[in-house]
């Protein structure tokens, strides 16, 4: 991992910690264009009551607004966990150049773990992928979050909707 990649994935991890503090699944993202962070996002699904409010989608919308275009050619997404199929599809549509992620997602990862949307030869755009950046740190934050949630459920006896879902 290059020093530059480390700096940007660390920034995504800071965003994930914001989600953790707000009791959201701790996923964070930043989008870099011409060596500058142009967008940030963290999961806000519960807060906004919006199943599409993933860190990647929030950052993607912000980056498109910043650049004034739907195409994010030459941009790189740094995200703490491998994007799901919704996010990967949106990233293909936005023509993002590269995805750098922290932890793999063995349940819904769409950059190679479960399915590979971002490099599907039938689609009109493919994305370079670099996974495993600060993997332990990114994965640990998710483990802490779900451990805390399980402990809360056990003590209260409730069954939460999130317990049936994955990271997103």
Rg (C-alpha) for the chain, rounded Å, is 15
CA distance 165 to 30: 24
The residue from 15, 24, 56, 82 that is catalytic is 56
Q: Which two tokens stand for residue 120?
A: 């599907």
Smallest Cα–Cα separation from 94: which of 139, 56, 132? Answer: 56
Q: Catalytic site residue 56? A: yes
For residue 139, count CB atoms less than 10 angstroms from its CB and return exposed for 0-12, middle for 13-18, buried for 19 or more: middle
Give the position of tokens 């150049």. 97
- CA geometry: angle 130, 85, 145, nearest 5 deg: 75
Give the Cα separation of 123 and 119 in Å (integer). Answer: 8
Q: Which residues are catalytic?
A: 56
């Amino acid at each position: 991992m290059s020093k530059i990649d480390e700096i940007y994935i660390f920034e995504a991890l800071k965003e994930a910690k914001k989600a953790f503090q707000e009791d959201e699944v701790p996923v964070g993202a930043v989008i870099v264009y011409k060596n500058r962070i142009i967008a940030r996002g963290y999961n806000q699904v519960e807060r906004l009551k919006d199943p599409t409010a993933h860190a990647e989608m929030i950052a993607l919308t912000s980056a498109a607004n910043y650049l004034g275009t739907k195409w994010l050619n030459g941009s790189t997404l740094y995200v703490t966990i491998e994007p799901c199929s919704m996010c990967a599809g949106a990233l293909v549509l936005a023509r993002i150049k590269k995805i750098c992620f922290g932890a793999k997602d063995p349940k819904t990862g769409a950059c190679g773990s479960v399915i590979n949307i971002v490099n599907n030869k039938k689609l009109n755009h493919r994305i370079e992928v670099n996974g495993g950046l600060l993997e332990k740190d990114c994965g640990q934050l998710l483990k802490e979050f779900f451990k805390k949630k399980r402990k809360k459920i056990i003590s209260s006896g409730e069954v939460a909707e999130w317990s049936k879902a994955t990271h997103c």
